[in-house]
Chain A
Amino acid sequence: MSKQINVALIGNPNTGKTSVFNALTGLNQKVGNYPGITVDKKQGVCKLARGFKAHIIDLPGTYSLNASSIDENVVIELLLNKNDKDFPDIAVVVTDVENLKRNLLIFTQIKDLEIPTLLVINMADRMSKKGISLDIDVLEKELNTKIALVSTRKNQGIDNLKELITSYKSIPAKPCLNTTDIDISYFENLQKAFPSQLLYKLWLVITQDVNFGKTSRQEIDAVAPDSYRDFKTKSNTDLKRLQQKETIKRYQFINNVLKKGQTIDLSQATDLRIKLDRILTHKVWGYIIFFIVLFLMFQAVYDWATYPTDLIDESFASLSDWVKNTLPPGAFTNLLSDGIIAGIGGIMVFIPPISFLFLFIALLEESGYMSRVVFLMDRVMRRFGLSGKSVVPLISGNACAVPAVMAARNIENWKERLITILVTPFTTCSARLPVYVIIIALVIPEGSFLGMSYKALTLMGLYIIGFVAAIASAYILNKILKIKSKSYFVIEMPSYKVPLFKNVALTVIEKTKTFILEAGKIILAISIVLWVLASYGPGDDFKNAESIVKTENPSISETELEDKIASYKLENSYIGIIGKTIEPVIKPLGYDWKIGIGLVTSFAAREVFVGTLATIYSVGSAGEKEDEDTIKNKMAAEVYPDGSKVFTLATGISLLLFYAFAMQCMSTLAIVKRETNSWKWPIIQLFSMTTIAYVVALIAFQFLK
């Protein structure tokens, strides 16, 4: 007998489903992908009594089994496919005690699939505050299930829930109501056509695509042979009408059940939500508060994150130096210290800013405030062809465009969603941050204006430029794109909650880890390739570097000679040749061939820029200086042959602007391809953004030089 129980956690958004998941699995969880689609698949393991083990999947939040997005569709795909290795032995439906009525809708649907279904009523600690009392016995009987009253906030009821999961075989698997009388003859015929199939399953398959937009439709796989789908004796309009009837019917049942098993004493109820929303969604105060929150967020990312970032940068510089001085000199030591450690250092500096940003976003989402922002911004955003829900991608885009583009899935209207996807990469993702930080530190002078340093102001300016670029291009796209799609917009305004530390911490750790690992892989690979390309070269110029330099400079000191040889070698290495080849194109922007190499490698991922320069400058210096050198110091010391500085104000500003506009991220292009189902959009993005970047950087340099 197998002692593993497959558990599927299902529920509406904002019911604390993920808190239940975290309470059950703790750190025993991992996030992956469902095959072929980019929906996060969260699974975990929980030890139960009597040697049982639960394998738990936290399915995407959904209001019903009538999916309207690929995230929601994952739930149906799993529940309809008995052969899936994750097919649940027991479905656990998580509900919020305050929204029991609405949360029970999906419960009645899953019961119709004849899967053993357990009901979790979460946030039980709020019952007294809301004047709610429940008769669990009556509810269990009426709903034909077992109920676990849980409070993840107070850590109550979890053991009872585990016990109920262990005894999953005693949980009823029969429906609790019959909805087929909404159209008796239709359902009778349907059953006759497929006598061996469960009626509700047939109905779900037939209606599966009714609520989908045209693009999402292509992404969903048919869970059943086409023959089911062909049994469509009704038009979509009629099917939709039947779904409406079904929903009403289910609610009638739920209302009756709750009349018997739930009493709400409104005089006992306090509603913080309404009081807070009078201010937080107010026509004037709401916007002011939102901008203060945003301001605090960016201030924090710049101010608080710079200390750990500097620390990490310096530690890696000393590590690289230590390796060089400790290991025997040779090709491998150079690869390790100049290539790999410098490259990894380039990515580690991301951890502080990106985790701060993920922290803020998690707090906004967990507290329920994000929905208010969506509400406030919808009308304003619509002017630019966006939706209020575009705010979430545009804010998350400041951490990373990849999850941000995915977050656009919540937008119901296809045109609004497409425009959001196309403009999100303009927002200042954290991959730009190390580039910005290092160039700002190099070229922007000390001094302050109205209490903010010039450096902080420049950074803020770049964030604003990114945001304005996104909004402005959305406005243009809205005028150009001729797409007709039905516009609707629904968002829940959940009650406010103090974010749970565990939830926030796990989100931040998970997202930061994924980001660092993904980006880390690319950076590591590129640093190694770069180092090889920089350490070898074709032809005699590279091989005979030493003698050539010696004959050209017969009377210079030992160290100067070594530096000269090293840079001569770099110039004639493979990478040097690549850099020199593109130099004419980038010269008008104020860049030399070394920066050019940084630009080339940046097209894989822009965060590579700093690491690339670190590698190039490490290879380019003789590498035997005793003092540890940070990347910044190396860049500051870089000069043209005539002795003038490479990183002047004009070059710096030009570089900053180039990075602000250019599309330099393979991962984003790949995700845009996935989300739009075509190469057309990512290619348009790549060319238009990069052209804008070139032109703007050109103008800036020519004006400032």
Chain B
Amino acid sequence: MQDTLADLKRGEKGIITDVSSSEIPLKLLEMGCLPGNEVELVQVAHYADPVYLNISGSHLAIRKETAGHILIEKVTNE
């Protein structure tokens, strides 16, 4: 199964591959959550929800539920 944003741990990075799920609001795309962009999980709140992301310089927070609909490919730090 493919990874989603919800699978990232603090400090991990990934590349967004697909945001076409109808669960993802347009606003999120407008704020820079687009395929091909790099995303880093900056911080998580209590119970790892919501998650604080840095998507190619756009800093925003979303709930874990929404994060679970954003498909990514993990980037492993060498």
Residues on A facing B (Cβ under 8 Å) = 63-64, 66, 68, 98-99, 101-102, 105, 211, 237, 240-241, 243-244, 247-248, 251, 273-274, 277-278, 281-283, 286-287, 371, 374-376, 378-380, 388, 412, 486-495
Contacts and interface: CB of A to CB of B under 8 A. Distances in A.
A489 B58 contact: no
B30 A283 contact: no
Contacts of A375: 43, 45, 50, 52, 61
A242 B50 CA distance: 28
A278 B43 contact: yes
A490 B60 contact: yes
The 7 residue pairs across chains A and B that have the minimum distance between CB atoms: A493-B59, A64-B30, A63-B30, A375-B61, A247-B29, A489-B63, A281-B43
A274 B26 CA distance: 26
B2 interface: no
Contact of A211 (B26, B52, B56, B66): B26
B67 to A, nearest CB: 10
A240 B44 CA distance: 30
Chain B interface, DSSP helix/strand/loop, else mixed? mixed
A273 B59 contact: yes
Nearest to A237: B22
Given A248-B35, A490-B25, 7 more contacts: A244-B29, A273-B59, A277-B42, A281-B45, A375-B61, A379-B46, A492-B58
A68 B27 contact: yes
Contact of B26 (A98, A247, A281, A489): A247
Contact of A240 (B26, B30, B66): B26
B22 A240 contact: yes
Contact of B61 (A244, A287, A491): A491
B34 interface: yes
Contacts of A211: 25-27
Interface string B22-44: 11011111111011000000111
A54 B49 CA distance: 46
B31 A492 contact: yes
Contact of A66 (B26, B54, B62): B26
B63 A101 contact: no
28 contacts: A66-B26, A68-B27, A98-B57, A101-B32, A101-B56, A101-B57, A102-B30, A102-B32, A105-B30, A211-B26, A243-B26, A248-B29, A273-B59, A277-B52, A281-B45, A283-B45, A283-B46, A286-B45, A378-B45, A379-B47, A379-B50, A380-B46, A487-B63, A490-B61, A491-B60, A491-B61, A491-B62, A493-B52
Nearest to A378: B50
Contact of A376 (B27, B34, B45, B56): B45
Nearest to B59: A493
Contacts of B23: 486, 488
Interface of B: 19-20, 22-23, 25-32, 34-35, 42-47, 49-50, 52, 54, 56-63, 65-66
Contacts of A376: 45-46
Contacts of B54: 274
A274 B10 CA distance: 13
Contacts of A379: 45-47, 49-50
Nearest to B50: A378
Contact of A102 (B46, B58, B61): B58
Contact of A493 (B26, B35, B60): B60
A63 B36 CA distance: 20
Which of B23, B30, B63 has most A Cβ within 10 Å?
B30
A211 B30 CA distance: 13
B6 to A, nearest CB: 14
A374 B34 CA distance: 24
A64 B56 CA distance: 19
Contacts of A286: 45
Contacts of B46: 283, 287, 376, 379-380
Contacts of A491: 60-62
A247 B33 CA distance: 10
A490 B49 CA distance: 12
B34 A247 contact: yes
A388 B62 CA distance: 11
Contacts of A240: 22, 26
A105 B26 CA distance: 13
A237 B26 CA distance: 12
B52 A281 contact: yes
A97 to B, nearest CB: 11
A493 B59 CA distance: 5
Contact of B31 (A102, A237, A380): A102
A251 B26 contact: no
Which of A98, A251, A388, A488 has most B Cβ within 10 Å?
A488
A176 B18 CA distance: 27
B19 to A, nearest CB: 7
Nearest to B35: A248
A274 B63 CA distance: 19
A388 B50 contact: yes
Given A240-B22, A375-B45, A490 B65 contact: no
A378 B34 contact: no
A210 to B, nearest CB: 8
A462 to B, nearest CB: 28
Nearest to B58: A102
Contact of B63 (A66, A277, A282, A488): A488
Contacts of A237: 22
A551 B41 CA distance: 86
Contacts of B35: 248
Nearest to A109: B30
Contacts of A273: 59
B31 A248 contact: no
B27 A490 contact: yes
B46 to A, nearest CB: 5
A491 B46 CA distance: 17
Contacts of A101: 32, 56-58
B43 A489 contact: no
Contacts of B61: 371, 374-375, 378, 489-491, 493
A241 B35 CA distance: 14
Contacts of A244: 19-20, 26, 29
A66 B66 contact: no
